[in-house]
Structure 1
Amino acid sequence: MNKNVRGWTVTFAGTGINLALGVLYTWSVFAAALTEQLAWSKTAASLPYTVACAVFALMMVPGGRLQDRFGPRWVATVGGLFAGGGLILSSLTDSLFILILTFGIIAGIGIGLGYSAATPAAVKWFPPQKKGLISGIVVAGFGLASLYIAPLTNFLIGNFGVKSAFRIEGLIFLFAIVALSQVLAVPLAPTPSAAPSSRQTGPASSTSVPPQAATSLNVSPSSSAPAAKADFTWQEMLKDSRFYLLWVMFAAGATAGLMIIGQLSTITKLQTGVSWGFAMVALLAIFNAGGRVLAGWLSDRIGRSWTMRIFFSLQGLNMLAFTLYSSPALIALGAIMTGLSYGSLLSLFPSATYDFFGTKNGGVNYGLVFTAWGVGGVFGPLMAGAVVDLTNSYFYAYLISASLCLVAAFLTIFLKSGPLALEKA
């Protein structure tokens, strides 16, 4: 098969896997049913989701390392077995503790393994100047999943009950993920424009990025994304200040985005008095997916740093504006801006990780960066809930989120392609 065709086949298989793994984003539908049909408290119904988010983020590290060592096919296959199996096992219990184990831990492990394998497998088929676009396409599936899984879950719960919904979706996603995983593969040899595999100081090859183009991620609009000058191990990456910059920025953006995603229905009701939460969540999901592709494409052209600066600034201003949104139309605007900005993170940060640290160990390296998402996923919703409980308003939660995003926008000026760039800036 032609290498370009094979690369796109792997890309769309990865997107399909993420379309199934995105069941995580539809937990609110299950949570509502658990409170209504099984008389669970809202706090109890949120615990399996919180645990799943944390396990998902933590599993990105071993999942990425396994993917780098054994290849994406087997890792994604095991991920499908865990994700689907966790949902099926969730159909057998009424116990909160068991559901935390089956959905939170078992399904969370599967989501982490599958997600960690899909993007690195796809980007290795393409030259550096397409890493952003390819990353965006693959991860768009995760953001778009709630558009079809939420109504499917609602239909299954309404007609068969919450337990049957877990079982049916578990079977569907198990077989879908395992089947699509068999398509995942990496090239047998580096693509012509792939980055060197070791730190050599000899003359650059004809496909290398010129030294002047590799001094910063702030490339000109006509420039392609810079190739990494070496393939870093995870130990080497942890000695580089750029890792910590990326981690802090990712955590800041994830805190703001996941706070709104987790609270949007409540925000809509509280600030407008209208129960349009489902429509707002669907709107956000569309732009969440679109933001991943748009930011990936844009960053391939103007550079990761400039694109991050744009979207962090947009999200910061949007968080400030949320304090004034008081109509469905304005909340819809806020959902669109949140979706675009949050979605951008999921293509910009893997792409930047591959730019800085190479693709050879990209799975484990991005897994470590992705732990920032887990921190944001826990801190954002908990912080918002605490603020609302104390003040009956999201005002201070918006201010905290806006501050984090604007600080992250400022930190982008320190992103350079050379090692330990923060100290040298």
Structure 2
Amino acid sequence: MSVATPALPVRAERLWAALLAATLMNLPLGSVYSFSVLLRPIEQELAIPRSALSLVFGLCTVGFTVGSVGAAFLYRVAPAPVLVLASALVAAGGIAMAATASGLTQLLLGYGVVFGTGGGVTYILLQQGVNMLVRRRQGLVNGYIVSLYPLGAMIATPLFHACNEAYGWRTTLWGLAAVLVACGIAAALLARHGGARLVAPAATGSTTTGPATGPAILGPTFYKLSATFFLAASAGLMVLSQAREIVAAYGGAAALAVAATTGITGAIAAARISGGWLVDRFAVPYVMCAAHGLALGGGLLLTLLPSPLTAFVGLGMIGLGYGFVSGATAGGIGLYWRPADYGRVAGRTYVAWCLAAVSLPVLAGYLFDITREYSTAVLIAAGANIAGMAMALTMPRRGWREGG
């Protein structure tokens, strides 16, 4: 007489809760793009040169990348809610350390290393948790998640500015630390309520190892995807980091330069959502090629017809192209690889983002110091977009769900 095996309890899966958790954490983490608002008051109080303060943001991007890559090694250390809360508290601790800084070293350690790394881990944990639950419209969902950083910057920038003026930059950072703690607690509770997990059940397998389950994690598809993303991000991050100065260099008034900076950030956020939505309907390489083509059009417009208006429009087109590629990259990972591998692949693609942040944006600033103009940098960006179009078309059209 055989004894029946007791059925395993049904695990509650609530995608909305996982998405809300990601939203609550990624919006304040996206304030990293508002770091420029903190430059002047920190510079004035601590007498730190602007060039040295730029190292803080640069180190933060490196920390974010390290945290993104390292997050996958934590999946089995503790349940998802515990890891989310712990990493959020680390990020908050880094901001608190920066708020008490008396010099550059403490800013580099607190904001750059601790906050950057904690933020990167938190981001990937929540993104992995969502992808373990989502069953359809993977592109749209992941496009939405990657749009939260620029959306967070749009919210944080005016708030940071107002708080700096009223209370000082230290209070601004203490406020951000408090928000990160509160959102970390809420995100952990939502992750628990949503039934988020970071690894697939043992019976279903959890790794991508061969053609039967999709492309290898570090195979040709990954490198092509990363290269296409890098080329778009190089041009896009140049625009994000220096839009105000580029518009001014082409003769734009201060009001137009500020409007361009704000508008481009919002456009990139919208394009990230749209890029993810598009890969649910069209092949990833076609979406990415078209996005690079849009950015190329912006660079050519600015090169052939330089003026304040074309600077506004052209930079917007470059930013939109970057946004579409970013959303398509996030959505494409969900289409090419299985959910259990999403965080591992996504974390590694942010290495390309980190390299992009320290390549063309830095070169553009150097070229401006020499020539007092951005025309050469815009041409280089256009060349990157041409290369991106070619690279995009080498990627496979189908992912693991379609037998490719």
TM-score after normalising by structure 1: 0.83
Greater Cα offset, 131-140 or 29-38:
29-38
Post-superposition CA distance 1:107-149 (Å, at most 9, x none): 101110111122222122222x411000011221111111110
1:311 maps to 2:288: no
CA distance in 1, matches of 2:287, 2:12: 27
Counterpart pick for 2:85 among 72, 77, 82: 77
Q: 1:312 to 1:164 in 2, by over 3 A?
A: same
Over residues 252-283 of structure 1, what are the superposed CA-to-partner deviations in whole Å (9 max), with x where a residue is unaligned?
Answer: 11111111111111112211241133322211
Shift, 1:13, TM fit: 2.1
Structure 2: how far apart are the matches of 1:402 and 1:323? 9
Which residue in the other structure is 1:93 paired with? 101
Matched, 1:266 2:245: yes
Give 2:173's match in structure 1, choosing from 161, 166, 190.
166
Match status 1:352 vs 2:332:
yes
Q: Answer whether contact 1:312 1:406 (CA < 8 A) is retained.
A: yes
Distance 2:325 2:126 in 1: 17
- In the alignment, is the contact (CA less than 8 A) between 2:95 and 2:174 conserved in 1? yes
Q: CA RMSD in A?
A: 2.8
Q: Please give the residue correspondences for 1:24-423 in structure 2 after superposition, counting only pairs within 5 Å.
A: 24-67=32-75, 70=78, 72-127=80-135, 129-184=136-191, 185-186=195-196, 229-230=212-213, 236-238=216-218, 240-276=219-255, 277-323=257-303, 326-416=306-396
SS at match of 1:186: coil
User: How many Å apart are 1:386 and its aligned residue?
Assistant: 1.2
Distance 1:251 1:199 in 2: 24
Give the distance between the partners of 1:37 and 1:323, measured in 2 at CA: 40
Mean alpha-carbon deviation: is it higher for 160-169 or for 352-361?
A: 352-361
Q: Distance in 1 between the 2:11 and 2:265 partners? A: 32
Q: Which amino acid aligns with 2:360?
A: G
Deviation at 1:37, TM superposition (A): 3.8
Query: Which whole-Å CA distance do the structure 1 matches of 2:199 and 2:125 have between them?
Result: 18
Corresponding letter in the other structure for 1:242: T
Q: Is 169-178 or 152-161 further displaced after alignment?
A: 169-178
Partner letter of residue 182 of structure 2?
F
Which secondary structure state, in structure 1, belongs to the residue aligned with residue 134 of structure 2? coil
Instruction: State the distance in 1 between where 2:208 and 2:343 align.
Output: 19
Question: How far apart, in 2, do the equivalents of 1:334 and 1:72 lie?
Answer: 43
Q: Is the 8 A contact 1:196 1:231 kept in 2?
A: no
Q: Secondary structure at the match of 1:237?
A: coil
CA 1:66–1:348: 2 relative to 1, 3 Å:
farther
In the alignment, structure 2 segments of 5+ residues that lack a partner are 1-9, 400-404
Residues 310-363 of structure 1 deviation map (CA, whole Å, 9 limit, x = unaligned): 111111222232335655543332343233222223322132223223221221
Q: How many angstroms apart in 1 are the aligned matches of 2:209 and 2:65?
A: 34
Cα drift, residue 157 of structure 1: 0.7
- 1 CA distance for matches of 2:249 and 2:74? 45
Distance 1:246 1:278, change over 3 A: same
Could you tell me how far 1:172 is from its partner in structure 2? 1.6
In the comparison of the two structures, how many residue pairs are matched?
384
Q: Distance in 2 between matches of 1:73 and 1:386?
A: 44
Identity of aligned residues (%): 24
Q: Distance in 1 between matches of 2:346 and 2:355?
A: 15
